Amino acid sequence: MEQAQGWGLTIFYLVFFFAIFYLLIIRPQQKQQKRRQEMISKLKVDDRVVTIGGLHGRITKIKDDTVMLRIADKVEVEVNKNAISYVPGQEAK
C-alpha cells in the first residue's frame, strides 16, 4: 500500500512540474512565435524594418520568402523574411 502511495505522489509531482514547465516556457514561446508570424505576414512595401543583424531599411519589393530592402540611396539588398526582427513602432504591441 505504501509503495502505491509513493508512485501516486511521484506521478503527481511529474504532472505538476510538467504543468509549471508548460506555463513558464512553452506557452509564452508559442505566443511569441505566433506574434512574429503575424508581423511577417503583415509586411508591406514601404514599411521600415530592422533585420536580426541590425540593418535598417525600407521594403521595396516583397517576394514569397524574401524582401528587397533599400538600405541607402540606390542600394538594395535581398533578405529572408525570417531575418526581419521587427517593424519600428509595432514591436511594443
Q: Mind listing the pLDDT tens digit for each residue in 23-73?
A: 999 999 999 999 999 999 999 999 999 999 999 999 999 999 999 999 999
Confidence of residue 90 (pLDDT cuts 50, 70, 90): confident
Return the percent helix, strand and coil in the chain, to nearest 5: 45, 30, 25
Sheet order of strands, 75-80 included: 75-80, 66-72, 56-62, 48-51, 84-86
